[in-house]
């Protein structure tokens, strides 16, 4: 069984996105957790990923972040239309091949940062005191899917230093 990405909308106006091998069960857990506050699950949608679910999830979160009016933690958003996010889930899950996508993205981001005058050591420090060898491994493609906080730190540094949002 492959992992899926999912979206669920709650009566509070919040939308939650994520990935799971059992999206229906995972969404039920979210619904159960917020039900004590009088918040109900309104809608949900999920789709099995044809490629790497972690890549698909990152792409989905990136799209949500760009369009939402606010973000709560890493996967909860306000100000999104459920139907639009559900279409993103369908589109991303079916088009994500997962192979090499992150390699090009991380190599490009790190290359831009190096071109801006930073060293790999400085990039590592600016991203939360990571190791230079981790940055080197991402740059070479030895690591293709960094953890969410590392990827976000690199994206933020890139946006701050190079003035663009790359590979959202």
User: For every residue of 104-154, which 3-state class applies, written as one string?
Assistant: HHHHHHHHHHHHCCCCHHHHHHHCCCCCHHHHHHHHHCCCCCCCHHHHHHH
**The pair of three-digit structure tokens given for residue 133, joined into one six-digit string:** 């060898």
The model's pTM: 0.61
The pLDDT of residue 30: 96
The pLDDT of residue 45: 97
The CA distance from 88 to 79, in Å, is 15
Break the chain into its structural domains and give their ranges: 4-95, 101-162
Give the residues of the chain that fall short of pLDDT 50. Answer: 97-103, 165-168
Q: First-to-last CA distance in the chain?
A: 27
The pLDDT of residue 124: 94
The pLDDT of residue 51: 79
Q: Which fold has domain 101-162?
A: 434 Repressor (Amino-terminal Domain) (1.10.260)
The pLDDT of residue 4: 94
């Amino acid at each position: 069984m492959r992992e899926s990405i999912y979206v669920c909308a709650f009566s509070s106006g919040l939308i939650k996105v994520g990935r799971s091998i059992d999206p229906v069960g995972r969404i039920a857990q979210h619904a159960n957790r917020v039900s004590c506050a009088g918040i109900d699950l309104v809608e949900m949608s999920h789709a099995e990923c044809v490629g790497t679910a972690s890549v698909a999830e990152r792409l989905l979160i990136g799209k949500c972040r760009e369009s939402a009016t606010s973000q709560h933690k890493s996967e909860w958003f306000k100000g999104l239309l459920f139907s639009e996010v559900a279409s993103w889930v369908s589109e991303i899950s079916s088009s994500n091949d997962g192979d090499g996508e992150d390699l090009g993205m991380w190599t490009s981001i790190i290359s831009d940062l190096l071109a801006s005058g930073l060293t790999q050591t400085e990039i590592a420090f600016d991203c939360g005191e990571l190791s230079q060898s981790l940055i080197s491994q991402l740059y070479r493609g030895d690591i293709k899917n960094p953890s969410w906080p590392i990827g976000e730190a690199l994206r933020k540094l890139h946006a701050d230093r190079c003035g663009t949002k790359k590979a959202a």
